[in-house]
Chain A
Amino acid sequence: MEGKKEHFFKRYEILFFLLLFGIVFFGVTKRWDLYEKPARRIVYELQAFLGVEGTTSGNEESWTGKWPQNSDAQGKDVGEQEDDPLNGPGGDPEDPLGDGTGEGIGGDGVNGQGAEGQGTDGQSVTEVLWQTVDESYFDDALFIGDSRIVGLRDYGNLQEHATFYAYEGLNIFRILTAKYVEVPGQMKKISVEEALGQRQFGKIYLMTGINELDIGTTQRFAETYGEVISRIRELQPNAKIIIQSIMLVTQKRAEKGDFVTNRGIMERNQALQTLADGVTVFYLDVNEAVTDESGGMNPTYTTDGIHLKAKYVPLWTDFLKTHALP
Chain B
Amino acid sequence: MNIDSIKNGIVIDHIPAGRGMKLYELLGLGRLDCPVAIIKNAASSQMGRKDIIKIDADIEVNLDIIGYVAPNVTINIIRGGELVEKKSIGLPETLVDVIKCKNPRCITSTEQEIKHVFRLDDPEKRVYRCAYCDTKASADS
Q: Do chains A and B stick together as partners? A: no
Interface residues of B (CB under 8 A from A): none
